Amino acid sequence: MVLPTGDVIRDLRPPTTDLTKVIFELGKHFWIITGKINLAQLIIDIELQVIFELGQHFWIITGKIKLAQLITYIELQMAPINVTSKRTYAQMSETPATPRFKDFDDIEYVDIILFSKWSISVRVEVKFPPNSYADNIRFILMDRNGSKIEASVWGHAEVERFNRILQPGCKYVIHRVKINPNAESVEFRAIGHIFELSFDRMTIVEPCLSIEFPILPKHLMPFLEVPARPTKTFVDIVGIVVHCCELECVGMLTKYKHAILMDAWGNFIAVGIWGSKLTQNSYRWSTAENGRPIAIATMLQKDKGFGGLNTSEHTNFTFNPDHPAARPLQDIRQKLISGAIDTRFLQKFLEKRWAFLATAWAKKDARFIK
C-alpha cells in the first residue's frame, strides 16, 4: 500500500494488517484522507461507509472494509491557505508534473476535447462580489499578453476559498483550470469571449511575481460592436475625446460628466462619468474640448436606457497611451486640434444626442408621467 507523504499527510501510522484500499477511486478522482489517524486494530469482515469531515469538506471513503474493532483518533490540522506561501492549494493535491500552459488567444475548441485541465498565468483584473446565495463568484483575468477572460467558481466552500485567495491586482499561476464554451446565451456574463474558465476543488493556485503583465488590455472593442452587447456588460474602448460637458440627471439630482469619444472612422459613442471617476483626471476632462486627448477606457458598463456607456467602480481611464490601437488616432487628433478636420458632423451628432437625452429624461421625470 502506497500513501502520499510530506505536506499532504504529516503523520500516518498504518496498521499491521494489510489494508487493501484506503484510497478509493470515485469516478475519476481520488479522495485522500488527511490528518493524523491512529488505528489500533483493523480486521476485515463487514461493509462500511465512513464520512470524515475535514474543515469544510467531506472526504468520503466508500467500499467494503472488513472491520471488527476500530479505535480512531483524528487530529485535523488543515494548513491555512496563505498567498505568501510557496504554494497555495485550492485542493490538497500535487502540481501537475508537466503543466500545459495556454494563453487566452490560443484557446480552441479542440483544447476542450483533448485535455480537461490547463495551466494559466494571470493577473486578477476584477473580482466581483459573490452572489446572494454565496455559491458563485466570478473573476476577470488577464494573461501575460493582455487578453481577458472570465472565470467562475461554484459551491459555498470553493467560493469562500477563492474569494480569500485571489485578490485584484495580484498575479498567479493557476493549475488544473477547466475551459468551457461561453454560456452568455443562457446566463449573464460580464465580458464577451468565446470561452470561459472554471475553478474547482482540484484547482491549484500559486503566487507569481516574476511574470510581467501589460497595464492595458490587448483587445479593445470597436464602437460599432458596442450596441450589440447585452445591457450591464463591460467593454474596453479607445477613442478621441471630442466633447465633454457637465449635466444633471433629472430625477436623481446628480451631476455627471457627459463625454463623447470618436474612433478612427468617425463613429461616436457617449460615456457617462459618475461618482469617484468625476474627480479622477478632472483636469483632463476640463481641457478635453481643446486638448482632444486619446483615451482608453476599460470596464465601461453598457447602459441601455441612455444609449451609451457608463463608468463603473472597475473603470480606469488612460490618456494618450502608447498602445497599438491608439496610434492610428494620433494623426486624427492633431488634425482636430489644428482645425484641419471640419467638426460640423460632431455638432449634428450632439444635437441628436441632446434630443435623445431630453426624451429619455422626460420619461423618467415624474412631472411628465401621467
Q: What are the φ and ψ backbone dihedral angles of 63, each rounded to 5 degrees?
A: 160, -175
**Rounded to whole angstroms, how far apart are CA atoms 76 and 55?**
8
What is residue 106's DSSP assignment?
A: G
- Domain 88-207: state its class: mainly beta
Fold held by 223-365:
OB fold (Dihydrolipoamide Acetyltransferase, E2P) (2.40.50)
Is residue 81 within 8 A of residue 166, CB to CB? The reply is no
pLDDT at 92: 40
Cα(300)–Cα(236) distance, rounded to whole angstroms? Answer: 6
Q: Check residue 41 and give its pLDDT.
A: 35
Residue type, 55: G
SS3 of residue 335 by DSSP: helix
What pLDDT was estimated at residue 251? 52
CATH 2.40.50.140 domain position(s) in the chain: 88-207, 223-365
Digitized pLDDT (tens) for each residue of the chain, 370 residues in all: 444 444 433 333 344 333 334 444 443 333 344 443 433 333 333 333 433 333 333 333 444 333 333 333 333 333 344 444 444 445 444 555 678 899 999 999 888 887 778 999 999 999 999 999 999 999 999 999 999 999 999 999 999 999 999 999 999 999 999 999 998 888 899 999 999 999 999 999 999 888 999 999 999 999 999 999 999 999 999 999 999 988 766 555 567 888 999 999 999 999 999 888 888 888 888 888 889 999 999 999 998 777 789 999 999 999 999 999 999 999 999 999 999 999 899 999 999 988 888 887 676 654 444 4
Instruction: Please give the pLDDT value at position 19.
Output: 38
pLDDT for the residue numbered 160 = 95
Cell (9 digits) for 20: 487493501
Q: Is 333 helix (H, G, I), strand (E, B) or coil?
A: helix
Element (H, E) at 273: strand 268-273
Distance of CA 301 to the CA centre of its chain: 15
CA angle 291, 352, 312 (to 5 degrees): 60
For residue 146, count CB atoms less than 10 angstroms from its CB and return exposed for 0-12, middle for 13-18, buried for 19 or more: middle
pLDDT computed for residue 274 by the predictor: 87
